[in-house]
Amino acid sequence: NAGVTQTPKFQVLKTGQSMTLQCAQDMNHEYMSWYRQDPGMGLRLIHYSVGAGITDQGEVPNGYNVSRSTTEDFPLRLLSAAPSQTSVYFCASGRSGQPQHFGDGTRLSIL
């Protein structure tokens, strides 16, 4: 059982480049979300989805896009990378009222 799989694990980008962080889950969870984790700030919600075709903004959505065409996949797109987006990104999935499951994260550096 793979759980929540994030790729890549590490990435270095130059300012202005775009890229997509991948997230896939094999547990048929309706709820998926993206967080970023920065020192001293905890995890902050970027975007989330309550089911295929439904997405919404979280606490810090600027500079990021998401889509949810299938239940399994929830990619996060950086449109034009900025140094302030250097962070560790986590994808999570779950069902209402049940524990959330997290991926191992993507460590992203923007130069």
Partner 1 sequence: KQEVTQIPAALSVPEGENLVLNCSFTDSAIYNLQWFRQDPGKGLTSLLLIQSSQREQTSGRLNASLDKSSGRSTLYIAASQPGDSATYLCAVRVLTSGTYKYIFGTGTRLKVLA
Q: Which residues bind partner 1 (CB under 8 A)?
A: 4, 31, 33, 35, 40-45, 48, 50, 56, 58, 90, 92, 96-105
Q: How far is the CB of 104 from partner 1 (least distance, A)?
A: 5
Q: Shortest CA distance to 15 belongs to which of 81, 79, 65?
A: 81
Q: How far is the CB of 90 from partner 1 (least distance, A)?
A: 6
Residue pair 73/23 in contact (Cβ under 8 Å)? The answer is yes
Which of 33, 85 has the CB closer to partner 1? 33
In terms of CB distance, is 1 or 42 closer to partner 1?
42
User: What CA–CA distance (Å, rounded) separates 97 from 53?
Assistant: 21
Shortest Å, Cβ 53 to partner 1: 15
Pick between residue 46 and residue 81 the one whose CB is nearest to partner 1: 46
Q: Minimal CA–CA distance to 46: which of 8, 92, 97?
A: 92
CA distance 46 to 56: 9
